[in-house]
Structure 1
């Protein structure tokens, strides 16, 4: 478990985007991070990953954490498989061939993995990074709006893959504005509003109940 205590962040001394946030990141849990636009969801993920400096020390867990977002850098001239092998070699991790084959099949990447990344859509890039994250066995995975670039079939598949990964004592935090997906994938919901965070068990009966807490703040 990671204990986040009194996390505060403001851009250039302006109004606090995150104001003394305290919450726990538990193992084996999928969190959905919800909030209106501008509430600080991406800022929070960047602070947790250490991409933005804040008042908390992330060194105890940052090495076990991967942040998946739209601005990740790729070697576009490589194929997906070549890029994956570069990362595994750099990390000195042996490829788990069985897991790799299973992920390629589930995420419909068997053919695409042989193509250059320059031909990939954003959704395929997210799939590639997720495969790498699983193969490297990251304990904590942060995902910023991963479902906006996926079709219905790909989204359903990713939901199942993520839920299964979390069951092995891993943690996934997903920032999303897609309430239906949040209800389906989450064990817990983190609501970010006015610089504060509230945690809810995902016992909501429908998306209207989730929408109500977002609008209430």
Structure 2
């Protein structure tokens, strides 16, 4: 039986008294890449903000490997690596200091982790930029710094929000390769994206959220059987469901 890395159960939540998320439930198994898809305003970011512990549920629960955010928030957050849509870097810290800070936050062994960090820095062509400050970096380079910092951790759950924006094709390829390697190591990944042709090829399953509710979920084959035909792409299915929902 596959273990559930992430379990979201009957989650009701949002930013004010009016819930954005209305009783949503889904899970991610160990070593699984799940695509979270939906129109802008559907509730994807709100879902992510609840999972990473920025928002507290009104009701329902979220657990990672059986640890709930209500039980032990530190142990809960220690299991997550998060790559946000807009890179968040500290202007006064160099690239090297960002990596050191990540190691401290996750309690990582510096010697072992620097081997991993150096491999990633080389891969993303940042190895000669350790003394640079964020103001020296382009948007794509900042995104690569976030990727490096996330993938030096031993996180059980990776949450990646719109990862392909601002990345060049080579970096996209490198990121997908890293995700695949991390999956093989047993980590689970929740990826929110609008780049559906890439998601179709790489995600094991999809959770489609609409108006704060789970509209449908399943692998590409089952979604095609339910909502499309043999020639349908994920994009076709997504558009037909979005049009259907906009009429209702």
Q: TM-score range by the shorter chain?
A: 0.7 to 0.9
3-state SS of the aligned residue for 2:115? Answer: helix
3-state SS of the aligned residue for 1:31? Answer: strand
TM superposition shift of 1:115: 1.9
Alignment of 1:174-213 (within 5 A): 174-197=191-214, 198-203=216-221, 206-212=233-239
Whether the 8 Å CA contact 1:48–1:62 is kept in 2: the answer is no
Equivalent residue in structure 1 for 2:7, among 3, 7, 12: 3
Equivalent residue in structure 1 for 2:164, among 141, 147, 155: 147
Matched, 1:13 2:40: no
RMSD: 2.3
Match of 1:126 in 2: 143
TM superposition shift of 1:186: 1.0
Cα distance in 1 for partners of 2:55, 2:107 equals 27
Equivalent residue in structure 2 for 1:167, among 175, 179, 184: 184
Match of 2:229 in 1: none
Unaligned runs of 5+ in 1: none
TM-score, with length taken from structure 2: 0.77
Whether the 8 Å CA contact 2:34–2:204 is kept in 1: the answer is yes
- Report the structure number with the largest CA radius of gyration: 2
Cα distance in 1 for partners of 2:157, 2:16 equals 29
CA offset digits 1:106-129 (Å, max 9, x no partner): 222222344222212232222222
Cα distance change, pair 11–78 in 1 and its aligned pair in 2 (3 A): closer
Matched, 1:43 2:46: yes
Cα distance in 2 for partners of 1:111, 1:12 equals 45
Cα distance in 2 for partners of 1:193, 1:87 equals 34
Cα distance change, pair 84–10 in 1 and its aligned pair in 2 (3 A): closer
Whether the 8 Å CA contact 1:35–1:214 is kept in 2: the answer is no
Following TM superposition, where does structure 1 have runs of at least 4 consecutive aligned residues deviating by more than 6 angstroms? none
Equivalent residue in structure 1 for 2:100, among 80, 85, 97: 85
Unaligned runs of 5+ in 2: 63-67, 225-231
Match of 1:32 in 2: 35
CA offset digits 1:186-213 (Å, max 9, x no partner): 1111110132223211336634444346
3-state SS of the aligned residue for 1:155? Answer: helix
3-state SS of the aligned residue for 1:136? Answer: coil
Cα distance in 2 for partners of 1:184, 1:111 equals 33
TM superposition shift of 1:19: 1.0
Cα distance change, pair 46–213 in 1 and its aligned pair in 2 (3 A): farther
